[in-house]
């Protein structure tokens, strides 16, 4: 396959380098276009009021892979990568492998997922890939499972382009764990701000909090909690059709 890779951890992030290495060695045509620094939780922001600068890099382990760093957001990287830096149409745009989960409502904040959404909006198949953090940091194992998922997907079968959010549990051995097709769960944070005092005696607040995970069966949260790979197909239509019909009665 022809692939464009990006992320929100920066071009030297372990996840994107392991993914690029594995996919390149598996025979895929790969190009990397990623931020010059970490852009976690950047959401779908784009750069409007300063120029974007692109620098081509040579990364030792990535033979035959064109690598570019961009002083912008993940969404910027996708836009400029597809419009200016590729001379072919990618079969998939892959964002990741992210160092951290993107489950439930987290997809609304995630730079990783937003990069995939940008590619989808531009008419491409896209996936966001995240490794749920633990002690192993098994990005290479996750990368091999992504290669397997690519091999099993036949994009011509589907009526629309694909937008997939994939979360992989961080297990020492990932080869034989199951893949579940899931829906988004509900992840809610409580007690989000911790109040502190600086050395000058002034109050400030640090974003923190605990996750209230509602592990409903067949959701992404449930699947990963049970040591499965979760694949959640996403869509962008946020319209509430039920309330729309009800409101029409009030305004008719």
* Beta-carbon contacts of residue 147 (< 8 Å; ≥ 6 apart): 22, 23, 26, 28
pLDDT, residue 52, reads 96
Phi-psi region at 48: left, alpha or beta (left = phi > 0; alpha = psi -120 to 50): alpha
User: What's the token pair of residue 87?
Assistant: 């001379």
Whether the pTM exceeds 0.95: the reply is no
CA dist., res. 131 & res. 211, Å (int): 17
Nearest to 188 by CA among 78, 99, 97, 105: 105
Per-residue pLDDT tens for 102-155? Answer: 999 999 999 999 999 999 999 999 999 999 988 999 999 999 999 999 999 988
Domains of the chain plus CATH, in order, are 2-184+216-250 (3.40.1210.10)
pLDDT above 90 for 42: no
Contact assessment for residue 112 and residue 168, using Cβ atoms and an 8 Å cutoff: no
12, 14, 15, 21: CA torsion to nearest 10: 80
pLDDT above 80 for 216: yes
CA dist., res. 110 & res. 88, Å (int): 27
- 22/190: higher pLDDT: 22
pLDDT above 90 for 31: yes
């Amino acid at each position: 396959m022809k692939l464009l890779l990006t992320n929100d951890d920066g071009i030297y992030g372990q996840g994107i380098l392991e993914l690029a290495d594995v996919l390149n060695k598996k025979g895929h045509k790969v190009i990397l276009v990623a931020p010059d620094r970490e852009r976690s939780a950047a959401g779908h922001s784009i750069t409007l009021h300063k120029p974007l600068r692109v620098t081509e890099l040579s990364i030792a382990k990535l033979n035959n892979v064109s690598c570019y760093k961009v002083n912008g957001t993940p969404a910027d990287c996708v836009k400029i990568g597809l419009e200016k830096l590729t001379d072919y149409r990618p079969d998939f745009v892959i964002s990741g492998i992210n160092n951290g989960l993107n489950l439930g409502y987290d997809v609304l904040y995630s730079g990783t997922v937003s990069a995939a959404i940008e590619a989808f909006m531009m008419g491409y198949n896209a996936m966001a890939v995240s490794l749920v953090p633990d002690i192993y940091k098994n990005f290479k194992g996750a990368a091999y499972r992504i290669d397997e998922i690519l091999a099993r997907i036949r994009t011509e079968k589907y009526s629309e382009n694909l937008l997939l959010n994939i979360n992989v549990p961080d297990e020492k051995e990932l080869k034989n764990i199951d893949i579940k097709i899931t829906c988004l769960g509900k992840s809610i944070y409580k007690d989000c701000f911790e109040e502190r005092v600086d050395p000058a005696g002034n109050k400030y607040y640090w974003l923190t909090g605990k996750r209230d995970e509602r592990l409903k069966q067949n959701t992404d949260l449930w699947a990963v909690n049970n040591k499965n790979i979760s694949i959640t197909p996403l869509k962008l239509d946020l319209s509430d059709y039920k309330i729309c019909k009800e409101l029409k009665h009030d305004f008719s």
